[in-house]
Structure 1
Amino acid sequence: MDELGLSSGADSAIGIALPDRLGLTTYNIGAEFAYELDFWGRNRNDARAAGAERLASEADYLTARMGVLTETVRTYLEIANLRHQHRLAGEIVEVFQQRKSLADSLYDRGLIDTRGLFTARRNLRNAQAELPQIEALLANAEGRLWVLMGGYLADLADMLPDSLTPSAALDPVPAGIPADLLVQRPDVSAARQRVAAARYTVGARRADLLPKLSLSGAIGLQSTEAGELFDPEQWFRNLSLNLLGPVFQGSRLRSNVALAEARLNEATAAFGRSVVTAVNEVEAALVGLEASRRRHSLLASLAEEAQAEAALQEQRYVSGVGDYESFLTATHTFLGTQSVLATAARDLGYARLALHRALGGAWTANEREALQQRPPSSILSTSTE
């Protein structure tokens, strides 16, 4: 002002005082808003589609979780069987060691030839060779269980005692399992939710073809007095409502509808495939469980007969009626049937586990609630009872 020769008290050339406008204080306030009326349900369908996709993602998580749990229990059963097999293999080695000692004694006395001696030695070496193989398989299974459980290898000795083996004393599967149990399978549930999401998306894209009714407003106020900014009359004078007509882009919007309908058809087909797959898996699991149960029952009877034969040969040998060779042979036969029976018990556990997975878990409401409330360690321990 001074450089221009003007000041707040300066006069103009005609004697009119100039106000100090550059020092004037002004107050401004502004706001914008927009609201779309969801007459045709576009926003509502988009929200529902997003919710269905969220449920599908949760079901995918449950599918992965069930896969990990199934593999954990399967590895648990494998370790239990391998530990039992290792103990039986050690006992079989002892039997062949005694048979070799007997063959050496008979050979020294000239009662058998070299063929009998070499046969005894070969059988002993074959039995001894089984131990490293079982130990390698056991170490591999324990390592896999350690990975599945997140690294608790030091606790496996307490969790998996050597005497633990699956039992055939399982609750029978109820006849005529209802088909609605398949819905609890997480993969079927995920496919169903994706069908719902695709259906809602079709509704939203069809709503895009219809006019959109939007309310929008812009407010901008300016005053030299702060109190005037909140004058209701000034607010209503600056408020505007704009009714926006739709801007149709027919080709693009119709293409979006066609794409959404195609995705709905794809999701429906995927849901149908998941249901068919689930039914086939349940039927196969039921047949496999019944076959494993029958095989285990037959082998259990065979093991009882072998045990009775071994006890008889032992009694005959102790009383001096039977020979030592017959006693060792009966003992070896009994241990062999025990090994086969242990494998059958493991397979029975596998079959039961396969049915649980095919049904998406337990097949009664009480079992499902109990399974959800149990900690993982108790689930592992009771899966082989």
Structure 2
Amino acid sequence: MQGAKYAALITGTALLLAGCAVGPDYQKPDMPLSSHWRNANADTPSRPPELAYWWKKLDDPLLNQLIEEAIENNLDVRTSKAKVREARASYRQTNGALFPTLDASGSATRSKAAGSNGSTGTVGNLYNGGFDASWELDLFGANRRASEASKYGLDAAEEELRATLLTLIGDVTTNYVEARGYQSRIALARRTAESQDETAKLTRNRFQVGSSSGLDVANAEGQASSTAANIPTLQTAFASSVHRLGVLTGREPTALTDRMKRSTSIPTPRLPMPSGVPATVLLTRPDVRLAERQLAQSTANIGAAEAAKYPAVSLTGSIATSAAKFGDLGKNSSISWSFGPTLSVPIFNAGKLAAAADVARAQRDQYFLAYKSSVLSALEDVENALVGFSQERVRLRSLQKSVDSYRNAASLSQSLYQTGSVSFLDVLDADRSLYSAEDSLIQSKVLLTTYYISLQKALGGGWSGDVDTSKPEVVDQNAGPRLALTKTASKSQ
């Protein structure tokens, strides 16, 4: 009876102290931000941006397919999924420390005692069985803080997955747009080189009849060869972009060569593009949210380190039974039990526990600064993308005017050359200027879309669909209990 009262007293005390905790409680840092983007304009109004599936606004079906394939097969994404599974299992493991543990044991022994005075001795059996239970009362919240830290760690792993998806989608879109740009530049170089070859032939024919000089022939042939020399370089760059797309989609580098062979127009964003307000990045950027969850996790770790400096109390109990006959194991006379608390008090540890708490605080400070840095970097990314996008639009309009003017100049120079009003060098110069302006215009279109991609990434746009993180990459076969059979591995030929 007294044992029962004692147990009730211990249990009541444990429940009373169950709400105790040491260390700081986490509070999300307050980051004062401006109410508007400094570099926003009419092309990027401040209404909430439509970040879900932003790449579909480029209206390119093949790009949409490649992004879906990359999300399914990309190795970095699959690695991040495995990290989520690891964090989820770690959280379950840490949570287990909050509950009692129970172990069962049993044994059966047959033995012979040595005889005396010439007797043969006696043979007997002994059966044992029992249960051992223990429960750490967690008076100062060490286990609860550890569980809290694991939960924040799981949140961080999920945000890391989102950050990986955001980066992946941006990389796939950027490489796809660059590949289309290289295709357009290759086509332009081929058209221009073919036209310049025709000009060189006509100049050579004119030279043969005395209507042109050898200098004109040499200049015409040299310009045609110079333009043609750009094609191999552009082909190499195009192949590199396609190979990168293949790897990003989890395939061999050349897997997309045939699908990318047919040239299409460079994807162009539709305007206007809402940019929201600076506070948007705190809600949508996965890298910012990842840094905030890591700060929360490091704060919880301080509590766990602090709790180690305080006494620890555990309740332990056991029930055992022992009998010479198996049927007697349940008899009252064969049963023994014990129950009571265990107290552990840190008395002297040369400052090791205090130092561990100081380490946790210093780590918390590092994650706090990392969080602030991630916010500032996010704001910087958005402002840079806004400036780049708006200025590239201005440049694109100027380049378009330049192309129109040089096209007129090239046509006029041909007409004036026929009448002898200008030299052949003027014709070649106008043709060279037109090719350069057209090539710059294509590059500007690629760069404009690249800034659009950068802005969507900077605002936190990414994959908004479901991502299955439960499927393991390696499925073990026949992993349960079985007979161990030694197999000789065959040597590879």
Q: Which residue of 1 aligns with 2:460?
A: 360
Please tell me whether the aligned partners of residues 278 and 379 of structure 2 are also in contact (alpha carbons under 8 angstroms): no
CA distance, structure 2, for counterparts of residue 238 and residue 154 of structure 1? 69
Partner deviation per Cα, 1:60-88 (whole Å, 9 max, x = no partner): 34434433332222221121111111111
**Once structures 1 and 2 are overlaid, which stretch shifts more, 145-154 or 200-209?**
145-154
CA displacement at 1:204 relative to structure 2: 1.4
CA displacement at 1:128 relative to structure 2: 1.9
Verify: 1:260 aligned to 2:360, yes or no. Answer: yes
1:207-356 aligned within 5 A: 207-231=307-331, 235=335, 238-249=337-348, 251-304=351-404, 335-356=435-456
Please tell me whether the aligned partners of residues 298 and 367 of structure 2 are also in contact (alpha carbons under 8 angstroms): yes
CA displacement at 1:238 relative to structure 2: 2.0
CA displacement at 1:116 relative to structure 2: 2.0
Partner deviation per Cα, 1:76-129 (whole Å, 9 max, x = no partner): 112111111111111101221122122223322323333222221221221221
> Which of 26, 49, 53 is residue 149 of structure 2 equivalent to?
49
CA distance, structure 1, for counterparts of residue 395 and residue 195 of structure 2? 27
Please tell me whether the aligned partners of residues 299 and 340 of structure 1 are also in contact (alpha carbons under 8 angstroms): yes
Verify: 1:6 aligned to 2:129, yes or no. Answer: no
Distance 1:194 1:232, change over 3 A: farther
CA displacement at 1:233 relative to structure 2: 7.8
CA distance, structure 1, for counterparts of residue 224 and residue 388 of structure 2? 36
Q: 1:222 is paired with a residue of what secondary structure?
A: strand
Please tell me whether the aligned partners of residues 292 and 347 of structure 1 are also in contact (alpha carbons under 8 angstroms): yes
Distance 1:114 1:306, change over 3 A: closer
Please tell me whether the aligned partners of residues 281 and 378 of structure 2 are also in contact (alpha carbons under 8 angstroms): no
Distance 1:196 1:125, change over 3 A: same
Distance 1:280 1:226, change over 3 A: same
Q: Which residue of 2 aligns with 1:163?
A: 264
Distance 1:146 1:175, change over 3 A: closer
Structure (1/2) with the larger helix percentage: 1
Please tell me whether the aligned partners of residues 313 and 341 of structure 2 are also in contact (alpha carbons under 8 angstroms): no
Q: 1:157 is paired with a residue of what secondary structure?
A: coil
Identity %: 23
CA displacement at 1:205 relative to structure 2: 1.6
Q: 2:318 is paired with a residue of what secondary structure?
A: strand
Q: Which residue of 2 aligns with 1:30?
A: 130
CA distance, structure 1, for counterparts of residue 115 and residue 208 of structure 2? 135
CA displacement at 1:249 relative to structure 2: 3.9
Partner deviation per Cα, 1:290-337 (whole Å, 9 max, x = no partner): 1122222332344455567778899x89xx9x99x8999877765544
Q: Which residue of 2 aligns with 1:106?
A: 206
Q: Which residue of 1 aligns with 2:272?
A: 172
Distance 1:55 1:160, change over 3 A: farther
Q: Which residue of 2 aligns with 1:89?
A: 189
CA displacement at 1:189 relative to structure 2: 1.9
Q: Under a length normalisation based on structure 1, what TM-score does the superposition of the two structures give? A: 0.78
CA distance, structure 1, for counterparts of residue 412 and residue 211 of structure 2? 26
The amino acid of 1:242's aligned partner reads: P
CA distance, structure 2, for counterparts of residue 153 and residue 299 of structure 1? 34
Q: Which residue of 1 aligns with 2:305?
A: 205
Verify: 1:184 aligned to 2:288, yes or no. Answer: no
Please tell me whether the aligned partners of residues 382 and 455 of structure 2 are also in contact (alpha carbons under 8 angstroms): yes
CA distance, structure 1, for counterparts of residue 332 and residue 413 of structure 2? 111
1:117-196 aligned within 5 A: 117-149=217-249, 150-151=251-252, 153-159=254-260, 161-167=262-268, 169-196=269-296
The amino acid of 1:215's aligned partner reads: L
CA displacement at 1:345 relative to structure 2: 0.8
| Structure 2 portions without partners, runs of 5+ | 1-113, 468-493
CA displacement at 1:361 relative to structure 2: 1.6
CA distance, structure 1, for counterparts of residue 177 and residue 183 of structure 2? 10
Please tell me whether the aligned partners of residues 80 and 160 of structure 1 are also in contact (alpha carbons under 8 angstroms): no
CA distance, structure 1, for counterparts of residue 430 and residue 398 of structure 2? 19
CA RMSD, Structure 1 to Structure 2 (Å): 3.5
Q: 2:274 is paired with a residue of what secondary structure?
A: coil
CA distance, structure 2, for counterparts of residue 231 and residue 267 of structure 1? 60
Q: 1:219 is paired with a residue of what secondary structure?
A: strand
CA displacement at 1:231 relative to structure 2: 4.4
Distance 1:145 1:196, change over 3 A: same
Q: Which residue of 2 aligns with 1:15?
A: none
Please tell me whether the aligned partners of residues 95 and 331 of structure 1 are also in contact (alpha carbons under 8 angstroms): no
CA displacement at 1:289 relative to structure 2: 1.2
Distance 1:98 1:293, change over 3 A: same
**Structure of larger gyration radius:** 1
Please tell me whether the aligned partners of residues 281 and 379 of structure 2 are also in contact (alpha carbons under 8 angstroms): no
Q: Which residue of 1 aligns with 2:490?
A: none
The amino acid of 2:379's aligned partner reads: V
Please tell me whether the aligned partners of residues 78 and 346 of structure 1 are also in contact (alpha carbons under 8 angstroms): yes
Please tell me whether the aligned partners of residues 182 and 360 of structure 1 are also in contact (alpha carbons under 8 angstroms): no
Q: 2:171 is paired with a residue of what secondary structure?
A: helix
